[in-house]
């Protein structure tokens, strides 16, 4: 993900919800979210990084979260999920949502290795803001880039509030 290039168009949210709901555009059902920080004028796509050692998997009391042997994605087995939401608390990226209609958590499953959010983003904003890179890229590097963006936002926010307080 190249968060610096995100313009907040939210096409990724729309496409994800369209694919995951079977034809309905409902961003609240999307498994990728764009967080808009109005005061700083930035948009940050919040996506699952399919961590090498996922904290969501570690806290799941029913082992409903597992890693796919095919795509290397961290997935949720809905039939095992009890809806306790411990994984939502554990995820450092806020990438897990609770599906009220099913009573279970949901997260990005990489669309079985062909993420719809990446395709629409690449079409709308060549070469794209969200990229699909198999697990050979270091998870630490991906997290570091996203965290730099959030750190910059926090620093700008603190600076802005100190300036306005003076």
The domains found in the chain, sorted by start residue, are 3-160 (3.30.70.20)
> What local confidence, expressed as pLDDT, does residue 142 receive?
59
Alpha-carbon distances, residue 121 vs 1, 10, 15, 118 (angstroms): 11, 9, 9, 5
Cα–Cα distance for residue pair 60/49, rounded to 1 Å: 17
Cα–Cα distance for residue pair 33/12, rounded to 1 Å: 8
Q: Is-contact 79 61, C-beta < 8 A?
A: no
Cα–Cα distance for residue pair 165/77, rounded to 1 Å: 49
Determine what percent of the chain is predicted with pLDDT higher than 90.
52
| 132 band by pLDDT with thresholds 50, 70 and 90 | confident
| 41 band by pLDDT with thresholds 50, 70 and 90 | confident
Q: Is-contact 15 29, C-beta < 8 A?
A: no
| 91 band by pLDDT with thresholds 50, 70 and 90 | very high
Phi, psi at residue 84, to the nearest 5°? -75, -20
């Amino acid at each position: 993900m190249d968060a610096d290039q995100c313009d907040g168009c939210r096409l990724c949210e729309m496409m994800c919800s369209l694919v995951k709901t079977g034809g309905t555009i409902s961003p609240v059902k999307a498994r990728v979210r764009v967080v808009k920080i109005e005061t700083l004028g930035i948009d940050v796509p919040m996506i699952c990084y399919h961590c090498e050692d996922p904290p969501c998997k570690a806290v799941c009391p029913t082992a409903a979260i597992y890693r796919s042997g095919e795509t290397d994605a961290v997935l949720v087995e809905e039939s095992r999920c009890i809806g306790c939401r411990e994984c939502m608390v554990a995820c450092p990226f806020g990438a897990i949502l609770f599906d009220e209609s099913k009573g279970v958590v949901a997260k990005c499953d990489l669309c079985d290795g062909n993420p719809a959010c990446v395709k629409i983003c690449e079409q709308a904003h060549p070469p794209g803001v969200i990229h699909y890179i198999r697990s050979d890229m270091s998870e630490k590097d991906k997290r570091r880039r996203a965290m730099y963006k959030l750190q910059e936002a926090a620093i700008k926010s603190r600076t802005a509030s100190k300036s306005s307080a003076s």
